[in-house]
């Protein structure tokens, strides 16, 4: 489990494509404190560490994960948001995030509002009903509050701090973004479907 509070900016250093995808990711984390088998959210995708170096870790990414996320578009040199898994007693600053991406949203609008940036996304139709104003979403692993919703489109505001410490400072219209809906919204909708 994660919180959606990004704690490092990683860099994709190498990609090896086979039946699955292997990625080597550069990190500022002290890799001496990371165990093989640990989970790290990489742009919101929960991945398992399979190898470690002085300033990098490797993960294997299944074809299923590649098909459901934006990982297939990763290239060497790409910056990605990183978060290590929660430990008991850690501060929960964002919201509960599983690292199980539900789909890919597209950036359809950017507008500066003072020093903040308003971003509009288009969610896949099947996920739009789970997104509510003032609710939470995880976008590329970042816990964000939804401002408004209009059909499949929804907006969030990014403050300067978020843009500075995550990959959001370089966002552009057309970018494909990993979207994880709020777990609570998923269960509420399932209960309504089951009772209806």
Q: What angle do CA 43, 51, 37 make, to 5 degrees?
A: 75
pLDDT score for 168 = 97
SS3 assignment, position 97? strand
* Phi-psi label, residue 74: left if phi above 0, alpha if psi -120 to 50, beta otherwise: beta
The correct answer on CATH 2.40.30.20 for the domain covering 103-195 is: yes
pLDDT value for 185: 72
Q: How many angstroms separate the CA atoms of 186 and 144, rounded?
A: 17
pLDDT digits (tens, 9 = 90+) for 22-36: 999 999 999 999 999
Where along the chain do the CATH 2.40.30.20 domains lie? 8-84, 103-195
What is the number of other CB atoms lying within 10 angstroms of the CB of residue 83? 26
Find out whether 161 and 116 touch, Cβ atoms under 8 Å: no
pLDDT score for 196: 59
C-alpha span between 119 and 150 (Å, rounded):
13
CB contact at 8 A, 182 and 137:
yes
Structure-token match 């250093």, residue found: 13
Query: Among 96, 97, 84, 101, which Cα is nearest to 27's?
Result: 84
Q: Mention the CATH class of domain 8-84.
A: mainly beta
Q: What is the pLDDT of residue 34?
A: 97
pLDDT tens for the chain, residues 1 to 196: 899 999 999 999 999 998 899 999 999 999 999 999 999 999 999 999 999 999 999 999 999 999 999 999 999 999 999 999 988 777 778 888 999 999 999 999 999 999 999 999 999 999 999 999 999 999 999 999 999 999 999 999 999 999 999 999 999 999 999 999 987 777 677 677 666 5
Contacts of 114 by beta carbon, 8 Å cutoff, 6+ apart: none
């Amino acid at each position: 489990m994660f919180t959606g509070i990004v704690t490092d900016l990683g860099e994709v250093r190498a990609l090896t494509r086979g039946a699955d995808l292997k990625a080597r990711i550069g990190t500022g984390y002290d890799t001496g404190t990371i165990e093989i088998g640990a989970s790290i959210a990489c742009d919101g995708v929960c991945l398992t560490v399979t190898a470690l170096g002085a300033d990098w870790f490797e993960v294997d990414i299944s074809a299923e994960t590649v098909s459901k996320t934006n990982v297939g578009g990763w290239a060497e040199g790409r910056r990605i948001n990183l978060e290590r898994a929660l430990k008991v007693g850690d501060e929960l600053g964002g919201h509960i995030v599983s690292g199980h991406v539900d789909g890919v949203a597209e950036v359809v609008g950017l507008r500066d509002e003072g020093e903040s940036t308003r971003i509009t996304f288009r969610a896949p139709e099947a996920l739009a009903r789970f997104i509510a104003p003032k609710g939470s979403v995880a976008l590329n692993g970042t816990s964000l509050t939804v401002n408004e919703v209009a059909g499949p489109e929804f907006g969030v505001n990014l403050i300067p701090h978020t843009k500075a410490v995550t990959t959001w400072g370089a966002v552009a219209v057309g970018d494909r973004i990993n979207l994880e809906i709020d777990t609570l919204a998923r269960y509420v909708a399932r209960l309504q479907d089951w009772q209806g």
